[in-house]
Amino acid sequence: MLRHLMLHNLDKCNILTLYDEIFISNRMSLVVEKLDISLHNYLQETQGLVLLEDIRTVIQQMATALAALKRVGVIHGDVTTDNIMMVDRVRQPFRVKLIDFSQAMFSSQAKPGRILQTPQYRAAEIMLGLPFCEAVDIWALGCVMGIMMFGFELFPTTTDYDALLFIIDLLGPPPQHLMKAAQKSKVCFKKTDCGQWRLKTPEEYWGPDLSSHDDRKYTFRSLDEGKMLCLEQDNVTEADERRECMELLKEMVAWDERERITPADVLNHPFITKSYIHSTSRLSSCPQPAAALDATSIHMDNTELPPNTSEEEEEEEEEEEEEEEEEEEEEEEEKKKKKKKKKEKEKKKKKKKKEKKKKKKKNSCRRFFSWMTRIFCCYMDDVQE
C-alpha cells in the first residue's frame, strides 16, 4: 500500500516516505525515512499538556494526510497517537507524519461488519456493523484531538460495549435510522416495545457475574459540558479559540458518517484558518461555570487583552514553510547529484568498455599482420633456396 501511495507522491502530504524494499533472510523489509518519537510518547513526556496552537498544527497536517488518502480512495484504518510520528521535535516542533499502513485498504474493499481500528479510536459505524468509508479516519483523528485537548482518552476501553456506553454519554443516543440499518444492533442494544433501540444495561450485556470497567478520567457527560470547562474568562480571543476547537471536535465524532466533517472541511474550519480572530467575538459575555466545579471565584475585570500575536504566528508559519521548502530543495538537489554521479559512473564504464574493445581489436590486427609477415618471410626464404 505504501508503495502505491508513493506513486502518487503522497510523501509530500505528511505521509511516511518509502525509499525502497529489500529482502533480509527471505523476509521483505521497508526502507523508510528516519523519524523522531510518536505523538503518544511525546504526550507521556509532557504529561499531555498541549497548547491550542500545537493542536491546530497537528490536526492541520493530519487532515492534509487524510485528504490525500481520500483523494486516492484509501482508508488508513489505524489513526492513533502511536501512528503519528514527529519528524524532529527539537528542530521542527510538531511537524508530524502519518505512519503504519498495515491496516490500510482501498475504499472499494470496505465491507460492513469488518473489524477495524484500535478500540479506543474505533468509529461508531465499525462497532454497529454499518457501511463505512474514509470517514472512520476522521473519527479516529477526533479521538486523537480529544487526547491533546484534555490529556486523556475520551473512550478508554477495549470493548465495543463500554465504548458505546461512553460515546452515548458524550454524544447522546445513536440516531434510530442507523440502528435500523446496523448489522450488529442486537449485540449491544435492545429493542423496546415501542420499537426504539436502547443500549443494554451492564447486567443485560455482561450477565450478573460481570460488569463494565470505567477508566474515564473526566466527569463531564457531554462535549458541551466539556466546552464550559475549557472557556477562558479573561482572554476573549483564547475563549473563541477553545470554542472553535471544541466545535471541530464535535463535528469529527458525529454518529452519522454522512454528517461527519471531511478532511477538506477540517482544513477550512475556523479553528484551523483562525478566521474567528478577525470576527466579532460571540463570547463577550461568558456563562459562569457551575458552582460544583468552581474551585475559586472567577470574575471578569477590565484587564487589557494581550496584543494580537497573529502576525508573529504568521511569520513563524512562513519560516516553517521556508524551512520545509529549503529541505525539499536540498533533497531534490541531493537526488540530482546522485543521479548525475550515477550517469557519470555509467559513462566512464561505457568508455572503459569501448577502449578495451578497441584495444582488443588493435591487438588482433597486430597479431594478424605479424602472422602475415612471418608467412611472407618463410615464402621468400623458400624461393631463394
Task: Record the pTM.
Answer: 0.70
Give Cβ neighbours of residue 243 (< 8 Å, ≥ 6 apart). 227, 231, 282, 283
> pLDDT tens digits for 140-161?
999 999 999 988 999 999 999 9
Instruction: Report which DSSP code applies to 194.
Output: T
Residue 101 in this model has a pLDDT that exceeds 90 = yes
Residues annotated as catalytic are 78
User: According to the model, what pLDDT value does residue 39 have?
Assistant: 97
User: According to the model, what pLDDT value does residue 290 have?
Assistant: 38
Cell numbers 482544513 label which residue?
Answer: 267
User: According to the model, what pLDDT value does residue 282 have?
Assistant: 44
Average pLDDT in the 85-94 region?
94
Residue 360 in this model has a pLDDT that exceeds 50 = yes
Q: How far apart are CA 38 and CA 73, in angstroms?
A: 26
Sign (positive or negative) of CA dihedral 341, 342, 347, 350? positive
Distance of CA 218 to the CA centre of its chain: 26
Per-residue confidence band for 208, with pLDDT thresholds at 50, 70 and 90: confident
User: According to the model, what pLDDT value does residue 107 have?
Assistant: 95
DSSP for 196-258? -EEEPPHHHHH-TT-----------SSHHHHHHHH--SS-HHHHHHHHHHHHHHHHHT-SSTT
**Least confidently predicted of 166-170, 188-192, 344-348, 358-362:** 358-362
| CA dist 36 → 14, 78, 329 (Å) | 14, 19, 21
Of 180-189, 201-210, 331-340, the range with the highest mean pLDDT is: 180-189
Q: How far apart are CA 267 and CA 63, in angstroms?
A: 7
How much of the chain, in percent, has pLDDT values that exceed 70?
Answer: 77
Which element (helix H / strand E) includes 137? helix 135-150
Which element (helix H / strand E) includes 87? strand 84-88
User: According to the model, what pLDDT value does residue 227 have?
Assistant: 61
Mean predicted lDDT score pLDDT of the chain = 82
> pLDDT tens digits for 259-276?
999 999 999 999 999 887
Residue 284 in this model has a pLDDT that exceeds 70 = no
Q: Pick from 171, 166, 145, 139: which is nearest to 258 by CA?
A: 139
Cell numbers 499531555 label which residue?
Answer: 48
Q: How far apart are CA 297 and CA 367, in angstroms?
A: 108
Give Rg (Cα) of the chain. Answer: 32
User: According to the model, what pLDDT value does residue 264 have?
Assistant: 97
Interhelix angle 223-230/236-252, rounded to 10 degrees, is: 160
Q: Are 133 and 107 in contact (CB under 8 A)?
A: yes
User: According to the model, what pLDDT value does residue 98 have?
Assistant: 98
User: According to the model, what pLDDT value does residue 221 have?
Assistant: 73
